[in-house]
Amino acid sequence: MALLAGGCTSDGAPPAAPPSSGPPPDFRPGAEGIGDPYFPKYGNGGYDVGGYDLKLRYDPKSGQLRGSATVTATATQDLSRFNLDLAHLVAGKVTVDGRAARATADGNELVITPAAGITRGTAFTAVIEYSGRPEALRNEELGVGGWLRTDDGAFALGEPESASTWFPVNDHPADKATFALAMTVPAGVEAISNGVPGERTTDAGWTTWTWTEKAPMASYLATVAIGQYRVSTSTHAGKPMVIAIPESLPADGPAARSMARTGEVADFLATRFGPYPFDAYGGIVLDDDRVGYALETQSRPVYGNTFFRSGTQTTVVAHELAHQWFGDSVALERWKDIWLNEGFASYAEWLWQEHEGATTAEQNFARRYASFDWSEPPGDPGPEGIFSQSVYQRGAMTVHALRKTIGDEAFFRLLKSWPAEQRNGNVTTTEFIAAAEKESGKDLDSLFQAWLFGTTQPPRP
């Protein structure tokens, strides 16, 4: 159950109420959801976020998080009030453009009523001070996502939602925004996040770690890992490479050896997908049995150590790094199109395995084609099916079927032109089909209908 948010300032005094005149009568509240049919309450309407600037302090001993979030946005309608997603945390003082605003909680929604209405097209800045003990969100079908406490710190991770467990956010990929984090933790504790590392300062036994992601980022791709890590910082292709391995794992073990190939894998993928799209590289490994997956957190993917318990493993590195193009730089508009993320990242595994002299893409395709359950289409998997094998493996087979249909020349042109033309944007399956038809000069409707939406085995191309 979410804690009630709002109602008093950080010093215990009630916030000043907005003027009684309020917004004009024709102004209306922003919607409490962004409009995604799969997850109606995810995100919010009425505005577009430009950036999040977080200044936070976390105490691993108490599990207490506190600080402020500065949210810059632009109204997309005449707004009387708007919502941000905030779960389990308590908001205190809230201002909009420097004036006190009213903030109340409705479940995991923080409802903010500014002193005056915000006219459509107007940029505004909301500053939210908040605190509490963060908790994860539990989805009965999709598992746990968000803030998870550990013995020596915490980490924030999860898909399709996680950000709202540690900062107020428009928590849906359709509203990408820049991201800056200054996380203060006890000296001797590391705090690793997305993007380019900045100045690190220590004062009175506390160290502040700063990170900046200037490319727009979907909210579920924001992460922070706090605890005892060996952090290596180097330069790759002129950009910072930050890799964090828990001190509980061997310094020269399979996780570290796998992460050491991050630059090599990224460089190979750039030959297929075009220039790497972000200002930093790296990876974070978690030694926590609650994380049996890896996630494409922007510029710095997070990997559960389960992938490396049997030895060095770079296929998963190829998968998560491919997401930097397909899923991160080019993000979803709606969750039903998640095959555009996972199908291409899974296909990148096949390309990497072939590059390594192992199984070819054609062999991978043939093996799965011969024994797959075709009853679940990846083009509209339903909210409970966004992480299904259909989305990943039939998605990858769809990519290979496209390659066989249009030929290698047009296919590999498309693998570069699509992320280049859609860089930093949001896309749909319909847009991808149009791009594929434009690049190939072929009508591909029947191909995609069979591979993405059919419930029987498509003809092998």
First-to-final CA distance of the chain: 51
SS3 content of the chain, % helix, strand, coil (to 5): 25, 30, 40
pLDDT at 337: 98
My answer on whether 205 and 234 are in the same domain is: no
Residue 433 lies in a domain: yes
Q: Which two tokens stand for residue 458?
A: 């498509």
| Separation of CA 298 from chain center | 7
Residue 459 lies in a domain: no
CATH number of the domain within which 67 lies:
2.60.40.1730
Count Cβ atoms below 10 Å from residue 413 Cβ, excluding itself.
14
Expressed as residue numbers, the domain containing 90 is 1-222
Residue 144 predicted with pLDDT over 90: no
**434 domain-assigned:** yes
Confidence of residue 2 (pLDDT cuts 50, 70, 90): very low
Assess whether 154 and 294 both reside in one domain. no
Q: Are 217 and 232 in the same domain?
A: no
Going by pLDDT thresholds of 50, 70 and 90, the confidence category of residue 362 is very high
Picking from 323, 350, 365, the residue at the C-terminal end of a domain is: 323
The H or E element that residue 427 is part of is strand 426-427
Residue 270, classed as helix, strand or coil, is: helix
For residues 13 and 132, state if they share a domain: yes
Same domain membership, residue 155 and residue 17: yes
Tell me: do 386 and 305 sit in the same domain: no
Domain check: are 178 and 255 in the same one?
A: no
As a whole number, the mean pLDDT across the chain is 94
Is residue 458 one of the residues assigned to a domain? no
Q: Do 208 and 123 share a structural domain? A: yes
Q: Which two tokens stand for residue 218?
A: 């979907």
Q: Is the pLDDT of residue 25 over 90?
A: no
At 10 the pLDDT is: 36
**Domain boundary at 202, 222, 242, which?**
222
Whether residues 77 and 153 share a domain: the answer is: yes
User: Given 222, 250, 271, which residue is the final one in a domain?
Assistant: 222
Q: How far apart are CA 447 and CA 453, in angstroms?
A: 10
Q: Are residues 53 and 166 in the same domain?
A: yes
Please give the tally of structural domains in the chain.
3
Amino acid at 366: A
